[in-house]
């Protein structure tokens, strides 16, 4: 499998990537606050799915802190989310439910949306091998992490305008070109299929909405210290995992940088470089 070596691409090995950033003293990678200027987000209306915990909660917190109007779209709320004082919480939205998603736009208060961040996802704790396949969970993972993004975006399309941005939080796990390095023994089928599916739908979406002047960002948010990665806790320090609050700033930095010229590209929010498909 060909792994791109072009300097515009990030590198597959997480530890080597982090080591290079330290060796080169890459401040953008090591301390996002040195380049992150959130002033343009003030007053922006931003919808965030999965905002009740993890990265989604951190995004809602950071956006609220910098003066954005946050519409939190969740299956169920949390005390942490409610304490943020966001503009609106829309709960009861299961992104696998066609009817729930179809009526979403009618629940949004206050007019058009400047930025939609499709963040909701699902990860099965135990990895799969050929002798332990779990097809119902695979289908659930794809339905949430890929089709769920599409349902929400379709439902809110009428609230997006020229200049709006759609952010798809996917993962480096969706890179086919990186499987040889990151998954040399295969396995974990549902997770990787769901992220590759999310990447494909994001490219198709970018092509469909470009004439409307809507940019689509396809982002790997970076390695973060969350419940989802807790089973990899022993590698957090050596591979540069960060708190979700840092991950949120990285995502928002790339969101600010997103333009029509960058639309439809698969980008690593750690170093800002592209990831090969």
User: With contact defined as beta carbons under 8 Å apart, do 162 and 113 qualify?
Assistant: no
Residue 102 pLDDT more than 60?
yes
* pLDDT for residue 2: 45
* pLDDT for residue 184: 95
Residue range 161-191, pLDDT digits in tens: 999 999 999 999 999 999 999 999 999 999 9
Q: Are β-strands 88-90 and 69-73 bridged in parallel, bridged antiparallel, or unpaired?
A: parallel
Residue range 204-224, pLDDT digits in tens: 999 999 999 999 999 999 999
Residue 53 pLDDT more than 90?
yes
Read off the pLDDT band of 232 (50, 70, 90). confident
Q: In angstroms, rounded to a whole number, what is the distance separating the alpha carbons of residues 119 and 152? A: 11
* Rg for the chain, CA atoms, rounded: 18
* pLDDT for residue 118: 99
Residue 88 CB contacts under 8 Å (≥ 6 apart), including other chains? 70, 71, 72, 108, 109, 110
- Average pLDDT in the 141-165 region? 98
pTM for the model stands at 0.95
- What are the chain's domains? 14-268 (3.40.50.720)
Closest CA to 174 of 165, 166, 183: 183
* pLDDT for residue 241: 96
Residue range 190-201, pLDDT digits in tens: 999 999 999 999
User: With contact defined as beta carbons under 8 Å apart, do 49 and 40 qualify?
Assistant: no
Residue 126 CB contacts under 8 Å (≥ 6 apart), including other chains? 132
* pLDDT for residue 227: 80
User: With contact defined as beta carbons under 8 Å apart, do 218 and 267 qualify?
Assistant: yes
Query: Residue written as tokens 């957090």?
Result: 236
Percent of the chain with pLDDT strictly greater than 70: 98
Read off the pLDDT band of 5 (50, 70, 90). low
Residue 51 pLDDT more than 70?
yes
- Average pLDDT in the 120-143 region? 89
Query: Residue written as tokens 């003066």?
Result: 67
Task: Show the beta-strand stretches assigned E in the chain.
Answer: 45-49, 69-73, 88-90, 113-118, 160-169, 215-220, 266-268
Q: In angstroms, rounded to a whole number, what is the distance separating the alpha carbons of residues 59 and 63? A: 6
């Amino acid at each position: 499998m060909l792994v791109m070596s072009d300097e515009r691409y990030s590198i597959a090995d997480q530890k080597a990537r982090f080591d290079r950033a330290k060796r080169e003293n890459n401040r953008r990678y090591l301390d996002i606050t040195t380049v992150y200027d959130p002033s343009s987000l003030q007053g922006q209306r931003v919808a965030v799915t999965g905002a009740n915990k993890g990265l989604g909660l951190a995004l809602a917190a950071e956006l609220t802190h910098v003066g954005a109007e946050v519409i939190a779209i969740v299956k169920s709320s949390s005390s942490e989310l409610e304490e943020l004082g966001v503009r609106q919480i829309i709960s009861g939205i299961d992104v696998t439910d066609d009817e729930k998603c179809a009526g979403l736009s009618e629940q949004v208060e206050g007019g058009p949306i400047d930025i939609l961040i499709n963040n909701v996802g699902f990860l099965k704790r135990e990895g799969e091998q050929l002798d332990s396949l779990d097809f119902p969970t695979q289908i659930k993972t794809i339905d949430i992490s890929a089709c769920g993004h599409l349902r929400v975006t379709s439902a809110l399309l009428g609230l997006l305008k020229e200049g709006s941005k759609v952010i798809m939080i996917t993962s480096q796990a969706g890179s086919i070109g990186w499987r040889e390095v990151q998954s040399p023994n295969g396995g974990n089928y549902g997770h990787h299929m769901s992220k590759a599916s999310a990447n494909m739908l994001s490219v198709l979406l970018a092509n469909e909405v470009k004439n409307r002047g809507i940019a689509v960002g396809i982002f790997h948010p970076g390695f973060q210290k969350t419940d989802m990665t807790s089973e990899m806790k022993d590698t957090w320090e050596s591979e540069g995992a960060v708190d979700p609050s840092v991950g949120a700033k990285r995502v928002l930095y790339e969101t600010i940088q997103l333009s029509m010229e960058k639309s439809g590209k698969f980008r690593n929010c750690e170093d800002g470089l592209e990831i090969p498909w």
